[in-house]
Structure 1
Amino acid sequence: MTSSFRPSIYIVHDIIVYYLICSSPQALVTRGKPMILLADANRKYPNSRLLVSSADRGWQSIYAELRTHPAGRLASHTQPNVEIVIALHDSKDGCVIRTNGGRRERTRPTIGTIWLVPAGLCHEEIELSTPMGKTLHLYLPTQPFDLLADQYDLPKPLGHSVQYRGGLNDELIHQIGLSVAAEMARETSTGRMFAETAALMLAAQLSHNYLDPTLLVPSPRRKPTENVRLRRVLDYIDENLENEISVADLADVAALSTFHFARMFTALMGLPPRKYVSRRRLENAMKMLASSNLPLAEVAHRSRFSSQAAFSRAFHRVTGVTPGEYRRLVR
């Protein structure tokens, strides 16, 4: 029995909504990553059969492939990326035995069974007692994890702290995996945006539920005065997204000189004030598109763009789709 590539529409919608809250798609782009992720897969599973992959999709923050595996043993060495393996086929009498650092686990693969491999794992041995049917492999670089850590003041390194575990049943990861598999099987115009979103959602789910706390390094604490100033500035930005906002205005809110404010803000938020304001305006525009019937020209005006055309170009550059396409996608 095989698993159908029919993801829950509610899960897909939740991924998009989560993505709006967390970050912009542009923040996830890493040039050259697909080839590095592809090299990981080919090196680790040289004898398996590759059915389909995302190698030609242009996805930057996730690499996916569907494989079948023969019975036998294999050994892999250090891989720099997080790997998520999802069984899409039952194995009635089969068994997967994984060994790492003296740890040994034995799992019977059924549809939806999940195995996790953290980034930086030094040595892993895998034994398959019988051939494995369709198996989905997802590779995540550490960048989506670092983005979450920077955004929410989380300890690092998240990607290297993912638990080495097998035999998991996580419906959210399973549904995201099915959605990625469906996109590989039939490419859509919004596939790249979905892939970047799925990468961030997977990183968030792993960071929330499957980290080894002994491997985390606490993030440096902010000074209390910096927290107060930053909160005032962020609140001011959110309250004035539809108005003109200058760096000088934000410096006044923080009670700092423009120079010192810009340095403080960039150090704490990971991007300059102007880029942060632009990102928040884009996120606000996405929410307006998803939850209102405002004309696109009005959304562009409220987002402080000089014209609807300028808004559409900026929106497409960041998300990969036009405002109109995005509105149809989320409704």
Structure 2
Amino acid sequence: MSAQLRNHAACEVPAPLPDEMEVTFAMTTSPGGRVERSSGGHFQDTAVRSGTLWFCPIGVREDSIRITQPLSNILHVFLSKSHFDGFAEISSRTPSPANVAYLADVDDELVRQLCLRIHRELSEETSGGKLLIECLSQALIAHLVTSYSSDARPRLDPERSTSRLDDARLRRVLDYIHANIDQDLSLTKLSEVACLSKHHFARAFRDATGAPPHRYISARRLDHAVSLLKGSQSSLADIAYLCRFSSQATFTRAFRRQVGMSPGEYRRRSAT
């Protein structure tokens, strides 16, 4: 999944290449702003209010897009075909991304909440953010296919009844996390360690530990940061890198939210 937060001027927008599914979400109301778009004879004219949603599936080539007034804080979420291929785990067949409906002004609170969580990760990066986005993309794809596509129907999955983490498998996963806390931990790798599909792993992990994978890993990485601040002379930038933050600034913000002070202040207090 990729996501961008954009501001748009009033203009005629060039039609995008239809090689990704796009979910567009208005974070704020743009007074007087409207989006007019058409595809295959379907014309849509939508007022831009906080919470407005648009869907443009893969393969749907839009004939025209017109923005009547400047728009601010528009979140664009892009999903590739590979996301839909992964849905075959819980569907009777691999769905066609082109069969998701081309819609405007969608009233769907679940999609809104998923978009808000994606935006929050863009604004306030966490050390478990990559894993979180993987989980959110799985949830978003499953919802789009089951609610807005005609060619995929959920099927009973024999793994569902056994998709729990027993003590041995849970310990194996936790040991792997702790041994690789400074490495790039993906949902795919963790589900392989647990011998579960990606679709079932996140739920099983939450049921077993009380926390989703990204939150558990984020907490352990901050614990690791605390240990490094106390027991090493590594620079704050190096500690941020070891704890999988993209920069010292994002590490400092996350650490302050969790601990109540900056990493530098924590190190000074620990030394005394």
Gaps of 5+ in 1: 1-61, 222-226, 245-273, 292-317
Secondary structure class of the residue paired with 1:78: coil
Confirm or deny that 1:151 pairs with 2:89: yes
Identity of aligned residues (%): 23
Which deviations, in whole Å up to 9, do the C-alpha atoms of 1:251-271 show, x marking residues without a partner? xxxxxxxxxxxxxxxxxxxxx
1:239–1:322 distance in 2 versus 1, CA, 3 Å: closer
1:134 aligns with 73
1:72 aligns with 11
1:93 aligns with 32
1:168 aligns with 106
Give the aligned residue type for 1:189: S
Which deviations, in whole Å up to 9, do the C-alpha atoms of 1:22-79 show, x marking residues without a partner? xxxxxxxxxxxxxxxxxxxxxxxxxxxxxxxxxxxxxxxx101100111111231532
Alpha-carbon RMSD = 3.7
Structure-2-length-normalised TM-score? 0.61
Gaps of 5+ in 2: 170-190, 224-272
Which deviations, in whole Å up to 9, do the C-alpha atoms of 1:180-237 show, x marking residues without a partner? 11111111111111111111111112112212x2xx3899x9xxxxx9xx95xx5896
How many aligned positions are there?
198
Contact 1:101 1:123 in 2 (8 A): yes
2:220 aligns with 325
Q: Distance in 1 between matches of 2:165 and 2:27?
A: 48
Q: Distance in 2 between matches of 1:134 and 1:93?
A: 15
Structure-1-length-normalised TM-score? 0.51
2:196 aligns with 279
Q: Distance in 1 between matches of 2:165 and 2:141?
A: 31
Q: Distance in 1 between matches of 2:121 and 2:63?
A: 30
Confirm or deny that 1:122 pairs with 2:61: yes
Secondary structure class of the residue paired with 2:32: coil
2:141 aligns with 203
Confirm or deny that 1:289 pairs with 2:209: yes
CA shift, 1:155, in A, is 4.0
Secondary structure class of the residue paired with 1:279: coil
CA shift, 1:89, in A, is 1.9
Q: Distance in 2 between matches of 1:237 and 1:218?
A: 21
Give the aligned residue type for 1:185: S
2:132 aligns with 194
Contact 2:11 2:68 in 1 (8 A): yes
Map 1:1-331 to 2 at 5 A: 62-148=1-87, 150-211=88-149, 213=150, 216=151, 231=158, 234=159, 278-279=195-196, 284=204, 286-290=206-210, 322=217, 325=220
Q: Distance in 2 between matches of 1:77 and 1:113?
A: 20
Which deviations, in whole Å up to 9, do the C-alpha atoms of 1:57-112 show, x marking residues without a partner? xxxxx101100111111231532111000011212222211011111111111000
2:187 aligns with none
